[in-house]
Structure 1
Amino acid sequence: MNHEIYIARKRKVFLPPGNASQPDQYVQSLLENIGSLGFTFSKPLAGRVATLSLEDLETFYNALLPALKTLVGAHVVYTPMYPNFPRQVMEASQAEICTNAWLHYLGDRINMRILPEYEKEERAPLQGAPPPRIIDLGTLEDFESIFTDLAGAKVSTSNTDKHTLLWFVNHYQNDIERLVPEAMPHKENMAFVGALLLLYTTIADRLLARHVKTATDVLRIVAAYFNGDVSLAEKTKYYKLSRPRRKTLLRLLEQSTCSLDDMVKYREPWKRLGEKLHPSEYAGQFPRSAQAFDVLRNDNHYRTFYSKVELAVKQHDIAAATALLATRPGELARRLDHLLRNAADTHAVIHAFDATADRVSTPVLLQLLTHFEHRLTPNGLRVFFPKGEVSKAFALPYNLPALRPETCREVVNSCRKHLVDRFRTLPPLGKVFLDEALRNFTVPFTLRSASKALRTVSRGSKLPLPQGNILRFFIWWRESTSRADIDLSAVAITGDHQLVDELAYYNLATLGGYHSGDITSAPNGASEFIDIDIHTLREKNARYIIMCLNSYTAQPFCDLPECFAGVMVRQEPDSGEVYEPRTVENKVDITANARGCIPMILDLVDGTILWTDLSLTRMPSYGGNNAANNMPAMMVLTRAMTSLVKTSLYDLFSLHIEARGERVLEKEKADTIFAADAGITPFDTQVIAAKFL
């Protein structure tokens, strides 16, 4: 059992009953200790804990406490430059702040770490601590369902999800077979699980035979096997393979479609992989594979499916392009808008789509439905999240040619009909309560680049801004062999995206906020904090507060041993410690192959936290890598994310209710609950991805 995985994903622990009966003070002492971290037990779990022997109780506590500390970031020591922050910064003169900064920067030049020496003063007790997070009693079956749901998810999983899958396969080994779902519809997830099966079990050949369908499936498995990018957006370095492993992969390729269309699409990766597979040695056993590699290796001319489609579009033969794409319904769906913009007979295109839509994946149909519902709504930007493991976003001017309203309506009706028909085949939901708050949460269509967080939600979701006067951003990082300077900044802008002010290492005190001081190295860890006074910034006409992290010394975050950031909610800035685990609203690990990121944007007008989890992948062309020089990119990304239109969980669950449930208005009368705080919640991403998409 892995308590960290179960608590992080479902806020539960599995604890078999004991035969003892502990005195109340032991259980109470344990609850007080985890209460300081912002957690408590449900009544069933507290009762179960009370049955443990003293030895088992100690073992459980020693496993539980580190997991909880890591979740909220309490496993490290926080030492800001000004230990009595924020009052100390409020009261410091500009001369004192400048002198401390100058001496600290001088230390970098002479290879010394110079920090001002201040005595830490006693702080007032914390005021207004939020209610604790409840940890419930789980079951072994429920814990094991985490693997099944992740492996069977219909969207790409994150690196955190992959570490969870790895833990299960590594610990269960051949016994993992009973947890592998009947279908693994998402090819990237199937490839990663397949690679784990090859590495840690002896049953991979048998299990993969029923899941591998195409040549690209095999290529993805190899990419995952060599710790590469299963999305195939980045190059993977292939190493020497043993003879049994070569035969396994060639056998999978031979029994797949072994389509040259698929292989030519990734010609160069296949050619490099062929050098490790030696397919000519096994031409007698795997003739189709050997022939395909011969075409690739000798650059034999082969006209692919995609080249035929492109030629038809180039010749303005939309009917021919549609007929070709209809043989691959997913490709037809993705190119539907382009075909409709150029077709003389849009009805024929829509008819072809409607005839094949039952073979289009649920995520694609949902995204298509949302796209055409808002197709005619003016929007300044089109936002794209390119494939890959770094959470990038591109924004372009919205200049799509117009379509007729009836054309958009026909596509929407077709998508809705096929989705409802599909969901109708699933088990009944009974009476269902649907929370209106789910309109603010987006469907987790892709989690590939999602960062590990205390509360993981899909990018573009809006969480309610907690009740409090002060929001405190924080960051903690540790360097490896070279100096690492990570800067925490906050940028305030108006509703029409005009700069109000910024808090950064070069501006520690300004309207509505304070910065704890710039620390430029972290041999044993370093931390920075920013306090945001919500009321003051609202009065200054600020609407959006951008939380921004920048690697001033230009190391990618993924090269740091540890780096995480988050936000706390405080009623009074000087009550409680500078870092109080109980007040952590969210904490996110910063591990992207990037030198800047925007974890979240506060919307002071709507009273929400917009979860962005975006990376800034381009360095400024001038000056340092800081908030000021990244301002143009941040402004565009903020405009893009605050105007983003994505399918909401409310929309998704409404379709399920139409297909297989009856909506009720009271939670107490419901058999199934979809809500922000009960039943299936926006934080149950693996359940949503596996069972509702």
Structure 2
Amino acid sequence: MSHRFESLVVRHTHRVPAPSGPAGDGSVVARQFDAALLSVGFKLSSRAFACLAGLSEGTVVDVAVRILRTVREMAGDHVRHNAYFIDFPANVPDTADFWRECVADALADDRTRASTLAQLDTGVVDLRTLPSYGRYRHTYADLLARHDELIAAAGDRVTVLHLGEPLEDEVTSLYLALAGSTTPLGEEVLDDLRDLAGHCVDGPQPESVPVRENRAVINQVRLAAGAVLLLDTVTDVLRLACAVSGGDVSLQQPTRLRTLPRPVRRALLAGLDTLVAADPAKAADVHAHREMFKRLGERLHPHEYPQWPHAAGVFAVARGERTARSLDSRVEELLGRGDVTGAAAVLRSAPGRLLRALDRLLRSASSPEESDAVLAAVEEALPQVSGRVLLSVREHLHNRPRETGGQRLFVNRLGRGHVTGDTRRPVPGPARERLIAVLDAELRRRVGVADHLLIDPDVLDVALPLSGRASTGGLGVLPRGSVSAVEGELLRFFVYWKETAVSTDFDLSALLLDADYETVSWLSYTDLRGVGGRHSGDIISAPEGASEFIDLRLDTVRATCIVPQVNIYDGEDFDEVEESFFGFMLREGRQKGRPFEPRTVRMKSELRGPGRVALPLAFLRGADGRWRAKWLHLYLPGTPSQNRVEGNRLTVAALLRAIVEREQLTVGHLTELMTGDATTVDVWDGKKVPAGPVTFVGLERPDGLHPDSRVVTPGNLRDLIPA
């Protein structure tokens, strides 16, 4: 089987698939492998080490080479992280002095003297035209030679790699877990699901594929393999057409549908025909994406296939030639007449939509009788609604202001966010409290009561991944809204990018805000030594890859919020560059080392999203003086070029305030629901694990857990979300 699948298993599960090979004494090589892993912040579990030690040296070497390559990429250590200022964080010059030096170098250069003088005459000099600005003046080897070796510290990250099952079993388990996920997957994970689905097309399949984007990716693979398609609505067919065309299966962005081969056209039309023949009401779903269905009809040529008349009828609805009244139109008509009870009755046939319309129905109710009718319909519908929707509504009600006013935060499935004023009338208090109680009761029924819970307290403030692009691919990444502790003297951000075809300039910056979200200062290429921090220097193109760093001493920062951001000043988007990622390191002052040290990396996430400004996370100082990370995973539109931290301060502050002041539904809430009178609850202290099976919920799986234990970590946090 391809080594790519082995890498997928390691990245998603932190398990090393049990290798096969001749027996032998591989203990020496296994120890060397473990030491090499430790240098990049990883370590073998006792079972994984014992398994490798019992194999031949050649087998262990082969495994070590492959796994090391994977974990180095996980930590961002697979590329060379050079810094513009070779001694960074030492000897970073004053910004104005550095710019004057660059101008002086340009005037001393015969090739640039005339153009620089001309710019000086105008009073404005473009730094990018100066030959010594923004381009490395030393090699990566030169940089390494200038830095002392990193001193090991107890706080360095150690991620344990556990022993898994044979590779084929691990691949199947991973496919079933991703395909059956109850929450949406990020773009990177969807790509992994596509590869896994192709390999597992003839093997076991999940009982259901509840997330429609996942279903579209799986259907794309099944279509190519000639397997039966998994279709439930006509929109599933449209999503599949977008997948085949290389477009957006979430339907958030327009897709230019390609000309489809005849076998594909037949499969899509047959699927549509079967769906509508079994339930004609499904044709009403066309209205939500009417224009896209028109385009799809132009590609499928339904008039050439008279054997599928119901499929042709779908496109007649899209063109307005046939009536198929949608559920939404019936509800709107009833609400327009003030008939809230009637609208709730109609929505009983679509429990998920009823829950999503709940807030509006309660606000529209003009009498206690109407409110009671809505609540009764909701209580009847709860068992038929997905767990993700139940949790989303529970979180919404918890944050619903009791009075008109405040701010509303909107984040779409691509991670683009904006804030607007909340002008809605409040939800009546008694109805709100009643709904919260019945939602928790239904969720408690679904999650079940655990016999023995082993809980890592550090995971309790991790937000549940309930909507959209709540997270990204990477190492140590948590869902949007999560809070995690930050321990260390030095906080160092980094960004790496490599352009594909066009000269591209990413700028790493950090905005510092006070307790009222007002700007204190910032660190960027325009202020290299602000607020006691250090910027590694501006790199303006990355044909071979480039890195920028920001270094801050947390005990000297005079701000309440630190918001790192990546601005695209010029060139390719985050989705267009060959590679780009962001992360942060924590280290002690005495550790020294290179600008990038993989075992001090606490988080590394891919930068793939819309817009020209990325906001991965923020750092907040609490009333106790301790720093915590708040995960954002947001993208701002920005401007086509010349994005700078100075230009988006107000937007960033408004978004940060909205996320910080919103209370997320967390892992802690679900573990409370899993706790009953007979439940044994232990707090994981990092020492001895219980002898019997447990349900462990934490940031990192402990070594030595009973094999029958249920383990939930950020890598499979979706497993906590009930179906």
Query: TM-score by structure 1 length?
Result: 0.90
- 1:186 maps to 2:175: no
Q: Aligned residue for 1:78?
A: 81
Give 1:599 deviation, angstroms: 0.7
1:144 to 163, 172, 184: 172
Give 1:408 deviation, angstroms: 0.8
Give 1:520 deviation, angstroms: 0.9
- Letter paired with 1:648: T
2:478 to 449, 457, 475: 457
Bigger mean CA deviation after superposition, 19-28 or 328-337: 19-28
For 1:317-332, list aligned pairs within 5 A: 317-332=339-354
- Between the aligned partners of 2:66 and 2:248, the Cα distance in structure 1 is 33
For 1:294-693, list aligned pairs within 5 A: 294-297=316-319, 299-300=321-322, 302-343=324-365, 344=367, 345-376=370-401, 380-387=406-413, 390-424=414-448, 429-448=450-469, 450-465=471-486, 467-537=487-557, 540=558, 542-572=559-589, 575-605=592-622, 606-619=626-639, 624-658=642-676, 662-665=679-682, 668=690, 671-678=694-701, 683-686=713-716, 688-689=718-719, 692-693=722-723
Taking structure 1 as reference, are residues 264 and 380 closer, same or farther at Cα in structure 2, changes over 3 Å only? closer
- 1:48 maps to 2:70: no
Taking structure 1 as reference, are residues 618 and 684 closer, same or farther at Cα in structure 2, changes over 3 Å only? same
Give 1:216 deviation, angstroms: 1.4
Give 1:384 deviation, angstroms: 1.7
Taking structure 1 as reference, are residues 401 and 447 closer, same or farther at Cα in structure 2, changes over 3 Å only? closer
Contact kept in structure 1, 2:245 and 2:258, CA below 8 Å: yes
Contact kept in structure 2, 1:442 and 1:649, CA below 8 Å: yes
Taking structure 1 as reference, are residues 247 and 570 closer, same or farther at Cα in structure 2, changes over 3 Å only? same
Contact kept in structure 1, 2:411 and 2:417, CA below 8 Å: yes
2:202 to 160, 170, 177: 177
- Between the aligned partners of 2:602 and 2:215, the Cα distance in structure 1 is 34
Taking structure 1 as reference, are residues 55 and 554 closer, same or farther at Cα in structure 2, changes over 3 Å only? same
Aligned with 1:646: secondary structure?
coil
- 1:135 maps to 2:165: no
Aligned with 1:391: secondary structure?
coil
Aligned with 1:486: secondary structure?
strand
Contact kept in structure 1, 2:409 and 2:417, CA below 8 Å: yes
Q: Aligned residue for 1:251?
A: 270
- Letter paired with 1:402: P
Give 1:446 deviation, angstroms: 2.8
- Between the aligned partners of 1:619 and 1:691, the Cα distance in structure 2 is 38
Aligned with 1:153: secondary structure?
coil
* Unaligned ranges ≥5, structure 2: 107-124, 685-689, 703-709
Contact kept in structure 1, 2:611 and 2:637, CA below 8 Å: yes
Bigger mean CA deviation after superposition, 115-124 or 185-194: 115-124
Q: CA-to-partner distance for each residue in 1:102-147, whole Å, 9 max, x for gaps?
A: 8588684388977474664543332343152211111133442111
Aligned with 1:535: secondary structure?
coil
* Unaligned ranges ≥5, structure 1: none
Give 1:618 deviation, angstroms: 3.2
- Between the aligned partners of 1:497 and 1:360, the Cα distance in structure 2 is 38
- Between the aligned partners of 1:504 and 1:44, the Cα distance in structure 2 is 46
- Between the aligned partners of 2:440 and 2:329, the Cα distance in structure 1 is 32
- Letter paired with 1:516: S
- Between the aligned partners of 1:474 and 1:231, the Cα distance in structure 2 is 31
- Between the aligned partners of 2:219 and 2:720, the Cα distance in structure 1 is 18
1:216 to 235, 248, 258: 235
Contact kept in structure 1, 2:402 and 2:426, CA below 8 Å: no
Aligned with 1:139: secondary structure?
strand
Contact kept in structure 1, 2:473 and 2:606, CA below 8 Å: yes
- Between the aligned partners of 2:201 and 2:75, the Cα distance in structure 1 is 31
Give 1:689 deviation, angstroms: 4.2
* Equivalent residue pairs, number: 670
For 1:98-177, list aligned pairs within 5 A: 98-100=100-102, 108-109=128-129, 115=135, 117=137, 120=143, 122-129=146-153, 130-140=156-166, 141-170=169-198, 172=199, 175-177=200-202
- Letter paired with 1:134: V
Contact kept in structure 1, 2:569 and 2:642, CA below 8 Å: yes
Identity %: 27
- Between the aligned partners of 1:191 and 1:613, the Cα distance in structure 2 is 24
Bigger mean CA deviation after superposition, 548-557 or 128-137: 128-137
Taking structure 1 as reference, are residues 656 and 142 closer, same or farther at Cα in structure 2, changes over 3 Å only? farther
Contact kept in structure 1, 2:695 and 2:711, CA below 8 Å: no
- Between the aligned partners of 2:351 and 2:80, the Cα distance in structure 1 is 54
Q: CA-to-partner distance for each residue in 1:84-110, whole Å, 9 max, x for gaps?
A: 1111116x6852454248858868438
Root-mean-square deviation (CA, aligned residues, Å) is: 2.7
- Between the aligned partners of 2:43 and 2:376, the Cα distance in structure 1 is 56
1:9 to 12, 16, 19: 12
Query: TM-score by structure 2 length?
Result: 0.87
- Letter paired with 1:602: F
Give 1:481 deviation, angstroms: 2.6
- Between the aligned partners of 1:59 and 1:275, the Cα distance in structure 2 is 52
